[in-house]
Chain A
Amino acid sequence: MMRFSKFLKVEAEIVVARYALVSDETKSRFEPVIFFHPEFAKRSGVKEGDVVEVEANGRAVKLKVKLSESAPESGGIIPNGIFASYLTNFDGFKRFKANIEVAEGEPSSVGEIIERVKP
């Protein structure tokens, strides 16, 4: 079933911050996840478990949605790591604006990003 929100792009404030529960210290795992503030998710028609395309600086990744009250009210947190680094620039390294859109399919993988960094 198509959802109305699928056709809407919303702007979100992204904060990049360390998140202890999504990665593995052996560098074998990094969860493709974005933590939206519950209020922002509600306003934007995004649900926990959705996959969203997050686009910033002309690049995009697909991340799975989780909710956290620790996220900025007008957006979300992308954990410090390969997905956030792929999107960001030094101008706005830890805090930037991104476009969010509900997407089909699986979230991006670490391998996919590595492939884009060095084809």
Chain B
Amino acid sequence: MSFVCPGCSCLCDDIEIVDGRILHACRRGEEIFEKYKENRAKPMVKGKEVDIDSAIEEATEVLKDSKNTVIYGMDTTTVEAQQLGIELAEKLNAYIDDNSSFCLGEFVEAILRKELPTTTLEDVRDRAYVMVYWGANPFHSLSRHMSRYSYYPRGAKRPRGYEEDRFLVVVDVRRSETAKLAKKNAKFIQVDNDDELVDSFFKVMEGKAAKYAKEAGIILNEMKKSDLNVIFGGLGLKYGLKDLGKFVEMVRKMNEVAPLYFIPAGFHANMRGFNETLFEKTGYVNKYSFKDGKGDVDFAFTSLLQNGKVDTAVIIGTDPVSSLPYDVASKLKEVKTIVIDPRMSPTARVADIIIPSAVSGIEMGGTMVRSDGARIKLEVIEERDVNDIYILKKIEEGL
């Protein structure tokens, strides 16, 4: 029997457990299976350990009194739990947001709005020729991405292996581990400013001189050899671009040369699930206000905290103390924080109320959405009754 790894948005579905050994999972994934019993959160209210139901009741009371609540996170839980979280936000007339508003959410949004053409990782494996990792270093962030889905596997229409059947492009501000893999039939472009490369693609297509004209020319020519080429964009791209619109336009224009698709390079296991679930419900992928009935940059978790717009934050399965700048994270002390998390994360350690939950994909089944939009069903190793679904339902019932 195979398990699905809930470690990142690759959602590798071929993990085996044989004689206690975890097979095929990368190091980050393996730790989730191996150590899921370690560093578990305990139910706490204001630093005192309580029983789980008291922690849930206390959280419900806080939410009843709260005037402006934000629900934040849920990128590591299932679509089913995300639906409940969104329901709860609606009932509370609250704000809802996740990591994607400072991660790759705007790329997912452009895909869902059909502004960026996209494809599946299976099609990439079977057919893709040129693959561009732009501002992404999958070796560390999505360790199996290249061996499982993109560059290394033999594909139905790419049977001869990477040296002949693939053309690898790596764009980064540094010579990353992934850049080191760009050898034969490959190109590493070390940029200082990502916009200059975007600009170079435009100029080359217009027949003009440009800073990266040589590289852009080679890539455009290689693209013509295939009916499927792909850009995997990571956080380096997101923070390197001044204008996403210009990048989207570049991809559109390059499609006049040869078919080119975009897949976000990846993120938390079910970040795309959050984006899709909220999009279906509201037409926005993140930073949404049920009170105002729209999404806006002012409703991002980070803006709400910085502008003092909320009095309560429900933080589910994510760790802003580790991931957000100090100027934002330190604002958590000004609001009541309710953390729902399987683990005693740094954020749980500063929370007013901790509600321990189950590890999705290990202790709770359900659905997650892979970085390319494929829906993957999770397996369970050891069911745990108190999971995000139980907790969110209980809070909603108590309101």
A residues at B contact (CB < 8 Å): 15, 17-21, 24-28, 30, 57, 59, 69-73, 77, 80-82, 85-90, 93-95, 110, 113-114, 116-119
B175 at the interface (CB under 8 A from A): yes
Determine if B325 and A93 form an interchain contact, defined as CB atoms under 8 angstroms apart: yes
Q: Are A85 and B32 in contact (CB under 8 A)?
A: no
Q: Is B312 an interface residue (CB 8 A)?
A: no
Complex CA–CA separation, A89 to B36 (angstroms) = 32
Inter-chain contact B137/A27, CB cutoff 8 Å:
no
Q: How far is the CB of A54 from chain B (nearest CB, A)?
A: 13
- The yes or no answer to B333 lying at the interface (CB within 8 A) is yes
Q: How far is the CA of A114 from the CA of B28 in the complex (A)?
A: 23
Residue of A nearest to B27 (CB): A20
C-beta contact mask, B331-347 vs A, less than 8 Å → 1, else 0?
A: 01100000000011110
B175 near A114 with CB under 8 A, answer no
Residue pair A25, B102 in contact (C-beta under 8 Å): no
How far is A110 from B349 in the complex, measured between Cα atoms in Å? 11
Least Cβ–Cβ distance between A55 and chain B, in angstroms: 13
- Bound Cα distance A85, B371 (Å): 24
Give 1 or 0 for each of B18-59: 1 = CB within 8 Å of chain A CB.
000000001111011001101100000000000000000000
B323 on interface, CB distance cutoff 8 Å? yes
Cβ-defined contact, A27 with B39, below 8 A? yes
Expressed in whole angstroms, the minimum distance between the Cβ of A41 and any Cβ of chain B is 15
B32→A25 contact, CB < 8 A: yes
| Chain A residues, CB < 8 A from B179 | 70
CB neighbours (8 Å) of B332 from chain A are: 117-118
Q: Which 5 A-B pairs have the closest CB atoms?
A: A18-B141, A28-B39, A25-B31, A118-B350, A72-B174
Provided the pairs A27-B39, A117-B329 are in contact, do residues A85 and B31 lie with their beta carbons within 8 angstroms?
no
With A and B bound together, what is the CA distance between A21 and B133 in angstroms?
21
Q: Are the C-beta atoms of B325 and A85 separated by less than 8 Å?
A: yes
Closest Cβ neighbor of A15 among chain B residues: B174
Alpha-carbon gap, A72 to B172, bound state (A): 10
Q: Are B325 and A88 in contact (CB under 8 A)?
A: yes
Q: Is B323's CB under 8 angstroms from A85's CB?
A: yes
Report B-chain residues with C-beta under 8 Å of the C-beta of A90: 102, 302, 325, 328
Partner of A94, one of B235, B330, B345: B235
Measured in the bound complex, the distance between the Cα atoms of B102 and A41 in whole Å is: 31
Also in contact, A27 and B235, with CB within 8 A (given A17-B176, A18-B137, A85-B322)? no
> How far, in whole Å, are A15 and B328 apart by their CA atoms in the complex?
20
Q: Is B249 interfacial (CB 8 A cutoff)?
A: no
Interface contact A15-B333, CB-CB below 8 Å: no
**Interface contact A21-B31, CB-CB below 8 Å:** no
Q: Across the A-B interface, how many residue pairs have beta carbons closer than 8 Å?
A: 118
Q: Report Cα–Cα, A39/B38, bound state, in Å.
A: 39
The reply to whether A25 and B239 contact each other, CB–CB distance below 8 Å, is no
Closest to A119 in B: B333
Which chain A residues lie closer than 8 Å to B31 at the CB level?
24-26
Contact A24-B35, Cβ < 8 Å, known A93-B102, A117-B330: yes
Q: Which residues of B contact A19 (CB under 8 A)?
A: 140
B174-A71 in contact (CB<8A): yes
Cβ–Cβ contact B174 & A30, under 8 A: no
Interchain CB contact under 8 A, A17 and B137:
yes
Let me know if B175 and A70 touch, CB within 8 A: yes
A25 touches B329 (CB 8 A): no
Contact indicator A114/B346 (Cβ below 8 Å): yes
Residues in B whose Cβ lies below 8 Å from that of A27? 39, 319, 322, 343-346
A-B contact pairs, 11 of them (CB 8 A): A17-B141, A25-B28, A25-B29, A27-B343, A57-B326, A70-B137, A70-B180, A81-B322, A82-B322, A82-B346, A95-B173
B324 at interface (Cβ–Cβ under 8 A)? Answer: yes
Q: Is B321 an interface residue (CB 8 A)?
A: yes
**A93-B239, A118-B350 in contact; A72/B326 too (CB < 8 A)?**
no
Which chain A residues lie closer than 8 Å to B39 at the CB level?
24, 26-28
Contact for B35 among A25, A110, A118, CB less than 8 A: A25
On chain A, the residues within 8 Å of B140 by CB distance are 17-21
Nearest A-chain residue to B359, judged by Cβ? A26
Cβ of B236 < 8 Å from any Cβ of A? yes
Residues on B with beta carbons closer than 8 Å to the beta carbon of A69: 175
Contacts of A70 in B (CB 8 A): 137, 174-177, 179-180
Taking CB atoms, residues of chain A closer than 8 Å to B206 are none
Query: Which A residues lie within 8 Å of B344 (CB)?
Result: 27-28
Contacts beyond the supplied A20-B143, A21-B140, A27-B345: 5 A-B pairs with Cβ under 8 Å: A28-B39, A57-B326, A70-B174, A82-B346, A85-B329
